[in-house]
Structure 1
């Protein structure tokens, strides 16, 4: 189970924090309310009923507890020595008409933003959390991927169809993991087997992932804000492998048609690898041979040196972006961390680009012409997604700064143990365990990455999201 420790800001800082969070929306240029035209279209639009009826398939969704914008539903069964995996994706292309008010609103947003004081959705909630969401016990149109896997988890056949489905269960990560650990019956019973096989496939391809612990800002039932640190559950990694498998299949269809939008990331260059090697040597856990993904997977998560190593490795995961192509395959098609061509195609309720990926994939799989609106608009999508990603990144980092400052407010003058996780010249970043905050500060020459030091909190400004620490 994930380690969860919650640190709540005191009541004296909560009012100031609420004001700062509201101002943050203006600061990042967060979209305002949906236009009346977009709301009316979302409430009235109807998706055609698919000819294929798969409501007899026992699909289930798996998401964080409380989620209502359910993009994916899965079903896994044994097939000989292998498996059949069905992965249903909300059929957003059937609900959103190109050039309509909904389309215009979604292009202006790019992706759903999860702010501490409320979600800023890509589509109106009547669509994203109701009519198009794969909620349990509701008939829904979906784009269903069917994968045949052999005993090693290798995909031997792929099919994509538009179908009517009916999810039977709404699972959440924590409860589903507990059911698996206890051996209880669950729709996710085969997910560990398939997930581990797909993780092994990723390792063979040379893929890598960081899996850093998350510092999450949560809003309590009483309206107060807190920071919780959690380690991702195994079931989250297994579930992610279904999405990755689907994104790779979508990418192959796009490359086959020479039309699409890929999610790419360059392979780190020799200089980046050399820097990372020196950092691991300085931390006493040298990466001497083999692929960096294998090295990261083998790290001891209980070793205090692992966090600064993972932070150092983050430099190897830079440069991700989108590339659109129409008629000619781009020179670079690989997402280096996945070690394969890849496309975002599994979260159309929450991410704009997925609608294009799904429309292209369905047309190619059917042997049909790709819709004209795709050709006309796809060159714009990378820029729209880049702008949305920048807005989301700023929102997340500034929100964490604000809540950290509020949590720290009553502790001015106190001393904390901290681990140096990154150093850059005379300054660096340290990780304080309790409460779980990171801080940038001047460091003495003796404070190398991985070292444990004592820091004192000198001052806090909740409105600016600033906390000033110094080494004792």
Structure 2
């Protein structure tokens, strides 16, 4: 759950209700945990020795399920990104208990107070995780990044790597990172700008309690190290997608452009936050002007995220070019196999393609089944994320019953007018016959029920 942090467990009762409602599993079945212990003892035997290279990881300080490690070297004017990805397929075989359970889950499900792992911790946080302290099996993807930010997959190999350091976003220094890290990120960002990519990296919402005992929401923008680290994964995924598309195989991440209705609602939301969005400026262009350190603009970034039509997975189809509108490119997921089921199969496919081998039949078959399995998992995770954000919003207004708020009507439905409060990043519904979208109204909070995640407003003007 990257949309909300609750470091003091202030919302524990409400989160417990969400876990029960969405049947988030507390643990893995005993046979799955036993299979993980057996798999964790496997010794890598098909992996080249890359332990002489200075790989590092970069993640939140508390993370232990580390999918990626990296090192960078120069090749003339180009940069070579060696991106090591946890070799989950080395530990998990099709049809074994680990695999069967992973297909049921699809993803690791995150909540502010914990997570439900895709794979048991014996793998995801120990043997398969790219932690320091000994060689780990990985799939190393080497991507050539040109000065203009264009990328090309140079090679893929199974290798034993040894992370030299577990670096944290919160504390990392530039001199601890491989040379070329910031330059590589800048190249990728420049290429995104030229493509017209419209990615949004909204800030985290963090729940705190003020001196009066009221809940408050603090918006925390991404740290520079986080933004730069995301570029490494993006470069690799773009290069993998191109390689798979050329080979007429693969599983791709696709996303449509925001529809006209969503953009219209967002323009009204911008009005609520007193943001100047010129009529001639597209959503993609306006996004690039937003600053996560400015509360109103950060809140609008979160509104954009909630308004999106959503991404999905599609297998390769002859004559079709899969497209991800936010990336403005053909795109694939392969860099988080400890947390996403699909990535394990994409990695196996690109490993075969890059080495001139046929993609295994079981991988090709999985590409046909994965879109439905991942859609189910992502739908569940999306519902949980929305429920958690709703919980935080209701908690934020607890003890404020009777107070009035200014709001802008963003949409109309049978359930009432959809409103955006102008001074808080909160969306709600209110009965307001006769209003029109874009109209400013005043509402009074009648009740805020965190356990039901329900806000009850009435229109007063």
Q: Secondary structure at the match of 1:174?
A: coil
2:451 is matched with which residue? Answer: 463
1:165 is matched with which residue? Answer: 161
Once residues 401 and 338 of structure 2 are traced to their aligned partners in structure 1, the CA distance between those partners, rounded to angstroms, is 43
Once residues 333 and 96 of structure 2 are traced to their aligned partners in structure 1, the CA distance between those partners, rounded to angstroms, is 23
The question of whether the paired residues in 1 share the 8 Å contact of 2:269 and 2:420 is answered with no
Residue among 239, 244, 255 paired with 2:229: 239
1:174 Cα offset (Å) = 1.9
1:375 is matched with which residue? Answer: 364
Residue among 278, 281, 299 paired with 1:286: 278
The question of whether the paired residues in 2 share the 8 Å contact of 1:207 and 1:337 is answered with yes
Q: Secondary structure at the match of 1:160?
A: strand
1:116 is matched with which residue? Answer: 112
Q: Secondary structure at the match of 2:420?
A: strand
Residue among 287, 299, 319 paired with 1:296: 287
1:147 is matched with which residue? Answer: 143
Residue among 71, 75, 80 paired with 2:76: 80
Once residues 144 and 458 of structure 1 are traced to their aligned partners in structure 2, the CA distance between those partners, rounded to angstroms, is 57
**TM-score, scaled relative to structure 2:** 0.84
**TM-score, scaled relative to structure 1:** 0.82
The question of whether the paired residues in 1 share the 8 Å contact of 2:203 and 2:292 is answered with no
Instruction: State how many pairs are aligned.
Output: 445
Once residues 261 and 6 of structure 1 are traced to their aligned partners in structure 2, the CA distance between those partners, rounded to angstroms, is 35
Once residues 288 and 134 of structure 1 are traced to their aligned partners in structure 2, the CA distance between those partners, rounded to angstroms, is 47
Once residues 316 and 408 of structure 1 are traced to their aligned partners in structure 2, the CA distance between those partners, rounded to angstroms, is 23
1:20 Cα offset (Å) = 3.9
Once residues 65 and 440 of structure 1 are traced to their aligned partners in structure 2, the CA distance between those partners, rounded to angstroms, is 38
1:421 Cα offset (Å) = 8.6
Relative to structure 1, the CA distance from residue 121 to residue 408 in structure 2 (aligned partners, 3 Å threshold; closer, same or farther) is: same
The question of whether the paired residues in 2 share the 8 Å contact of 1:7 and 1:407 is answered with no
Flag structure 2 segments of 5+ consecutive residues without an equivalent.
Answer: 210-214
1:338 is matched with which residue? Answer: 327
Residue among 345, 348, 355 paired with 2:337: 348
2:16 is matched with which residue? Answer: 22
Once residues 56 and 250 of structure 2 are traced to their aligned partners in structure 1, the CA distance between those partners, rounded to angstroms, is 29
Residue among 81, 92, 102 paired with 2:98: 102
Once residues 47 and 347 of structure 1 are traced to their aligned partners in structure 2, the CA distance between those partners, rounded to angstroms, is 22
Relative to structure 1, the CA distance from residue 120 to residue 256 in structure 2 (aligned partners, 3 Å threshold; closer, same or farther) is: same
Q: Secondary structure at the match of 2:346?
A: helix
Once residues 114 and 31 of structure 1 are traced to their aligned partners in structure 2, the CA distance between those partners, rounded to angstroms, is 11
The question of whether the paired residues in 2 share the 8 Å contact of 1:74 and 1:87 is answered with yes
Relative to structure 1, the CA distance from residue 311 to residue 428 in structure 2 (aligned partners, 3 Å threshold; closer, same or farther) is: farther
Once residues 121 and 450 of structure 1 are traced to their aligned partners in structure 2, the CA distance between those partners, rounded to angstroms, is 45
Relative to structure 1, the CA distance from residue 458 to residue 450 in structure 2 (aligned partners, 3 Å threshold; closer, same or farther) is: same
The question of whether the paired residues in 2 share the 8 Å contact of 1:428 and 1:442 is answered with no
Q: How does 1:262-341 map to 2 (within 5 A)?
A: 262-268=252-258, 271=260, 275=264, 284-288=276-280, 292-299=283-290, 306=297, 310=301, 313-314=304-305, 317-325=308-316, 328-329=317-318, 331-341=320-330
Flag structure 1 segments of 5+ consecutive residues without an equivalent.
Answer: 220-224
Relative to structure 1, the CA distance from residue 49 to residue 196 in structure 2 (aligned partners, 3 Å threshold; closer, same or farther) is: same
The question of whether the paired residues in 2 share the 8 Å contact of 1:5 and 1:228 is answered with no
Once residues 121 and 86 of structure 1 are traced to their aligned partners in structure 2, the CA distance between those partners, rounded to angstroms, is 27
The question of whether the paired residues in 2 share the 8 Å contact of 1:279 and 1:309 is answered with no
